[in-house]
Amino acid sequence: MNTLMEKIETVLVEAFDRCGYDSSFAKVSLSNRPDLAEYQCNGALAAAKKYRKNPMEIAEALSAELGKNSMFSLCEAARPGFLNLRIGADYLADYLNGLNASSHLGCAQTGTGKTIILDYGGANVAKPLHVGHLRSAIIGESVKRLLRFVGYECIGDIHLGDWGLQMGLIIEETKARHPDLPYFDEAYTGCYPSEAPFTISDLEDIYPKASKKAKEDEAFAEAAHLATLRLQQGDPGYTALFRHILNVSIADLKKNYASLGVEFEVWKGESDAQAFIPELFRILEGQNLLYQSEGAMVVDVAEESDSKELPPCIIRKSDGASLYATTDLATLIQRMKDYRPDEVLYIVDKRQSMHFTQVFRVARKAGIVPPETALTFLGFGTMNGKDGKPFKTRDGGVMRLEQLISDIDSAVYARIRENEAIPDDEAARTAGLVGLAALKYGDLSNQATKDYVFDIDRFISFEGNTGPYILYTMVRIKSILSKYAEGRTAHAKNATASYACDSVNDDADTMIYGNDEISANMSADTGTLIRPAQNTTEKDLHLVLAKVNDVISSAAAEKAPHRLCQYAYEICDGFNRFYHETKILTEADEARQGGWIALLRFTLLVLSEIISILGFEAPERM
Ligand code: ARG
């Protein structure tokens, strides 16, 4: 469905045409004087120069022409030549009802037929998830859902870090602990055990110990390095052990990501790309792109227009080992073969920006990725503590993701426990939902490229621009809707029924609701339409909601979930203003009341879709 702006523009174009002016001047924008108008067109000012006329004369002619259109309740020429516009309440209500009835909230499906691979998550096998992985997961998941909402086929690939030295370290440490395992017996020819020789808690102990040992003990470090090489050369025992490390880690990672509401379609990793490295070399050699430099094999990637010097991309080190860039290039070969994507989008820490510039340039130069496939790097900033430095635990260590989440959940739980009507187990569940919203919204409401300060007290506040505030507003709407439904059920049962609740703006947080009768009743009157707004707060809410397709489409085009946060906040503010002025449940005029209920349902629908794109959900009460 066309956005409201597009619809206004179409009408403006006709008016410019009819008045004999070039319709390319028919541009509309939100008014920067909301006290005077909702929208404005500055086209008469620009046209005045071309036609050497007084802009006011042009604006007045246009205003007279537009006055014939029922779309506007105001179209007024204002000095020195602006056109001030207000949408008619009837037109606006119709537009909202149209959005409500259309799929995807009227968002143009610009992505239909196109495939995007999103490379996000990037967890490293056997190493615990830390907050650095948090942003990639949260932003990547949300961008994926956003692009999917506008029609793209989206494939999320976690691209595990599973091929580095950490594998050799784990293998060596396991060997030190259990030297008798068959994986280490070079003469062994039987089948390797199907049961892993360690659990996830063992691995969580093994890796940090091994990593520490390697720093202190040179012989151990060397052994780990050799073990890594042996694994990479395909040693059967080490490969079998590697499979165990992978399986145990992945099962744990899946659990962790699920608790974050993050899900990957593809669980490939760096190790899967190794098979494509020979082909990478064939391509690069075939095109004479590869040359030796200080013993390493490199490809030049600098371009004349570069403002900063870009070093050559190293494909193979002097000791024969391949690097991060080698794997990423091999992965691109694999992805092109498997999916022929229209875009590969990387959601990775912005400090890796140079790496991706190098990889993209080699991929283009060598024709690994054709020009019609976009390569995009969405680099995100650092999550800092209140001291402005990268977020750490209280004793200065790396904060583990699980710890962070449990800290937030307990803070939220304490807040929710203040409402004594909510039983313990429900409070715990709700705290999980609200905590996740606090965490994700706290992150996503910032422009991804920027650093931000992780401030738990601010993030979990029920007021201000926070996830819990959005949820609180949704819970409030749910509560009004169910009270309304209860009232109607009672009404139907008993002709003398009065509404279950007489005081209007009583707090949503003390309500219990949700039974079958209510839902049956709710669906029975879904036919009700949103009615033309009768006052300013209602009209303002209509105007905010009418932007939904516009906002989601531009957020998707910019891959910018923070725009959705801003918008959700604007809706909640608009809703709360309206709600404070409107006595919905005690309204005697049923038709009028029904119109408001339809408005509430639509508001809830829009908010639900938005938070689902952001990657969290609302509880029934809080
Ligand atoms: N595993 C990497 C890290 O922890 C992130 C991987 C990002 N994706 C990629 N294709 N390089 O830094």
CATH code at position 494: 1.10.730.10
* 107 within some domain: no
Assign 343 a pLDDT band (cuts: 50, 70, 90): very high
Q: Which residue has the tokens 């500055």?
A: 42
Neighbours of 128 (CB within 10 A): 21
* 523 within some domain: yes
What pLDDT is attached to residue 495?
58
Show which of 233, 259, 285 is a domain's final residue.
259
What pLDDT is attached to residue 508?
42
* 131 within some domain: no
pLDDT tens, 406-421? 999 999 999 888 888 8
Q: Ligand 1, residues 118, 120, 124: which to mutate, most atoms within 8 A of Cβ?
A: 124
What's the gap in Å between 117 CA and the centre of ligand 1? 14
Pocket of ligand 1 (CB under 6 A): 119, 122, 124, 159, 161, 328, 346, 348
Using alpha carbons only, give the angle 588, 543, 107 rounded to the nearest 5 degrees: 115
What's the gap in Å between 163 CA and the centre of ligand 1? 11
* 227 within some domain: yes
Looking at the predicted structure, is the pLDDT value of residue 203 above 60? yes
Q: Which domain holds residue 553?
A: 467-614
Assign 315 a pLDDT band (cuts: 50, 70, 90): very high
What's the gap in Å between 56 CA and the centre of ligand 1? 58
* 446 within some domain: no
Per the CB < 8 A criterion, the answer to whether 76 and 31 are in contact is no
Show which of 259, 288, 323 is a domain's final residue.
259
Burial of 616 (0-12, 13-18, 19+ CB in 10 A): buried
Do 83 and 169 share a domain, yes or no?
Answer: no
Choice between 542 and 392, residue whose per-residue pLDDT is larger: 542
Do 188 and 66 share a domain, yes or no?
Answer: no
Nearest atom in ligand 1 to 160's CA: 1
Looking at the predicted structure, is the pLDDT value of residue 499 above 70? no
What's the gap in Å between 181 CA and the centre of ligand 1? 32
Q: Ligand 1, residues 158, 159, 276, 335: which to mutate, most atoms within 8 A of Cβ?
A: 159
Do 174 and 81 share a domain, yes or no?
Answer: no
State the distance between the two ends of the chain, measured CA to CA, in whole angstroms. Answer: 35
Assign 129 a pLDDT band (cuts: 50, 70, 90): confident
Do 169 and 255 share a domain, yes or no?
Answer: yes
What's the gap in Å between 305 CA and the centre of ligand 1? 28
pLDDT tens, 584-599? 999 999 999 999 999 9
Looking at the predicted structure, is the pLDDT value of residue 517 above 60? no
Closest residue to atom 6 of ligand 1, CA basis: 122
Cis amide bond preceding 34, omega within 30: no
pTM of the full structure? 0.92
What pLDDT is attached to residue 527?
62
Show which of 259, 278, 307 is a domain's final residue.
259
Closest residue to atom 2 of ligand 1, CA basis: 122
Q: Ligand 1, residues 348, 351, 369, 401: which to mutate, most atoms within 8 A of Cβ?
A: 348
Residues 217-235 have a mean pLDDT of 93
Q: Ligand 1, residues 352, 354, 358, 378: which to mutate, most atoms within 8 A of Cβ?
A: 352
Choice between 162 and 517, residue whose per-residue pLDDT is larger: 162
Do 47 and 185 share a domain, yes or no?
Answer: no
What's the gap in Å between 94 CA and the centre of ligand 1? 48
Distance CA 540, CA 546 (A): 10
Do 74 and 185 share a domain, yes or no?
Answer: no
Question: Worst-scoring range by mean pLDDT, 95-104, 314-323, 473-482?
Answer: 314-323
Do 73 and 201 share a domain, yes or no?
Answer: no
Closest residue to atom 10 of ligand 1, CA basis: 328
Amino acid (one-letter) located at 389: K
Do 482 and 610 share a domain, yes or no?
Answer: yes
* 47 within some domain: yes
* 317 within some domain: no
Residues 427-454 have a mean pLDDT of 95
Structure tokens at 133: 């992985």
Nearest atom in ligand 1 to 124's CA: 1
Do 57 and 170 share a domain, yes or no?
Answer: no
Residues 454-482 have a mean pLDDT of 95
Closest residue to atom 11 of ligand 1, CA basis: 328
What's the gap in Å between 622 CA and the centre of ligand 1? 38
In CATH, what number is assigned to the domain containing residue 21?
A: 3.30.1360.70
Structure tokens at 189: 């020819």
What's the gap in Å between 126 CA and the centre of ligand 1? 14
* 420 within some domain: no
**Number of folded domains in the chain?**
3
Do 74 and 198 share a domain, yes or no?
Answer: no
* Helices (runs of H) and strands (runs of E) counted in the chain: 22, 13
